[in-house]
Amino acid sequence: MSYLDLADPFEKIYRAEGCTTEVIPHRNWLRSGSLLHASKNWIREFRTSRLFEKTFARAGVDIVYINSLVSVSAALAAKRCNLVTIWHLRELLSDIGGEMHAPRLIGRHLIRYVLRHFCTQVVCISKAVEYNLLGDHHSANTQIIPNGVDRIYFEKKNKKEAREALGLPAKLPVIGIPGTLRPLKGARLPFQIGKKSP
């Protein structure tokens, strides 16, 4: 499945709401800790940033909202276009089990430099994300705004109603994991009810 296939459902939703959309495929600049691979990633991101720059100019963009640490090419373009940029961070680095790999030697310093100088406002979803990505010396342009939860999750229901709403059998044990099922979350899959996970 390609990047464009993944983006298509979201494009349809935004278009239905009257938004103009454009997909610019770009890759994760922190997918490898090797200095050689990181350098290649940076060159690729710099090239992709030119596409973002042209798109921003053509669309008359006033503000750029970046929803992932992955999108450094958009941040580079926004900086060159002198646009107000909000960078929303939720990822963690691999040193504490996250998916992002800081390049060796200068990697963490480079990430912190980019986050401090390539956006107007940084928004982190938790203190853990803020500390892991920015360290102790984060700037005044950093705010923590936890992920929102719909109030329906706090409405009291008895166990029977909750199970019925989710289509769950009345007697089997239920384990809830509030997040995507990925290795970094620590959920060991596959498993079977009544058996220990490997």
For 52-86, give the DSSP string.
HHHHHHHHT--EEEE-STT-HHHHHHHHHTT-EEE
Instruction: List, run by run, the mean pLDDT of 10-residue segments along the chain (198 residues).
Output: 53 84 78 70 87 93 90 92 94 82 78 88 91 81 84 74 81 73 59 45
Q: Are 101 and 110 in contact (CB under 8 A)?
A: no
Q: What pLDDT sits at residue 8?
A: 67
Q: Which two tokens stand for residue 43?
A: 């060159």
pLDDT for position 175: 74
How many C-beta atoms lie closer than 10 Å to residue 142's C-beta?
18
Q: What pLDDT was estimated at residue 136? A: 80
Cβ-in-10-Å burial (0-12, 13-18, 19+) of 103 comes to: buried
Give the predicted TM-score (pTM) of the model: 0.69
Give me the pLDDT at residue 197, please. Answer: 42
> Which pLDDT score, from 0 to 100, does residue 187 have?
62
Q: What pLDDT score was predicted for residue 3? A: 44
Residue 153's pLDDT is 67
* Domain extents in the chain: 3-144
Q: Which CATH architecture has domain 3-144?
A: 3-Layer(aba) Sandwich (3.40)
